[in-house]
Amino acid sequence: MIGVHPERLVATLQDVRLEGEVWLDFSAVDRIDTRGAEAIAELADRADTASAKVHFRGVNVNLHKVLKLMDMGRRFTFTS
């Protein structure tokens, strides 16, 4: 489980090694900005390329809605 710190969200997502299954803990993330959102979109593209499964844990409901609006809902799995 990789903890995602709000201040280091972009760097964390860029540094994630995508092999097999990856678990990211978003419990500490209250809100994301455009760069964070773009980093998540890029992560989705990289995961597709690497055939990796990425699981998000602890995504709050507002952030969940943001990801749905970006069509990211189907590209990750979400657990509480």
Partner 1 sequence: MAEKVALSEDRAEYLEGLVRRGRTAAAVFTQFTQTDVDRIVKAMVLAGIARAQYLAHLAIEETRLGVLEDKTIKNMVATEFVYDYVRDKPSVGVIREFPERGLTEVAEPIGLMFSVTPITNPTSTVLFKCIMAIKTRNALIFGPHPKAWRCSREAMRIMYDAAVEHGAPEGVFGCVEEPTIADNLYLMHHRDIRLIDATGGPGAVKAAYSSGKPALGVGAGNTPVYLEKTARLDMAVVDIITSKTFDNGTICASEQTLVIDDEIYETVLRKFAELGAHICNARETAVLGQMVIDPETGFMRPMAVGQKATDIARLCGLKVKPETKLLIAPIGGVGPEHPLSVEKLFPVLAVYRAKSVEEALRVCVDVNHAGGLGHTAVIFSRNDAVIGQFSELMNAGRVIVNSPGSIGALGGVYNDMVPTFSFGCGTGGGNSTTDNVNLYHYLNIKRVARRTQAHMWFRVPNQIYFNFNAVENLRHMPSRSTVIVTNPHLEKMGHVDLVRRSLAPQTPVRVLAIPDAEPELAVILDGVQALRLQQADQIIALGGGSVIDAAKIMKLKYGSPDADLMELAAPFLDVRKRVMRYPVANGQLVRLIAVSTTSGTGSEVTPFAVLIDRERGRKVTLVDYSLTPDVAIVDPQFVMSMPKRLTADTGIDCLTHALEAGVSIHGSPFTDSNAMQAIRMVFRYLPTAFEQPQDEEARSMMHNAAAIAGLAFANASVGVNHALAHAFGARFGISHGRANALMLPHVLRFNASVPTKFMPSPNQRAYVADKKYALMAELLGLGGDSIAEKVERLVTATEDLLDRLQIPRSIAELGIGEDEFERALPELATIAFDDPSWLSNPRMPLVSELTELLRCAYRGRGVGKGVTQEAFV
Tell me which residues touch partner 1 (CB under 8 A).
31-38, 41, 62-63, 65-67, 69-70
Q: Which residue, 21 or 31, is less far from partner 1 as judged by CB?
A: 31
CA–CA dist 25, 55 (Å, integer): 8
Say if CB 9 and CB 17 are below 8 A apart: no
Q: Which residue, 34 or 80, is less far from partner 1 as judged by CB?
A: 34
Least spacing, CB of residue 58 vs partner 1, in Å: 16
Least spacing, CB of residue 20 vs partner 1, in Å: 28
CA–CA dist 7, 29 (Å, integer): 9
CA–CA dist 11, 8 (Å, integer): 5
Q: Which residue, 37 or 54, is less far from partner 1 as judged by CB?
A: 37
The encoded tokens of residue 16 equal 């994630």
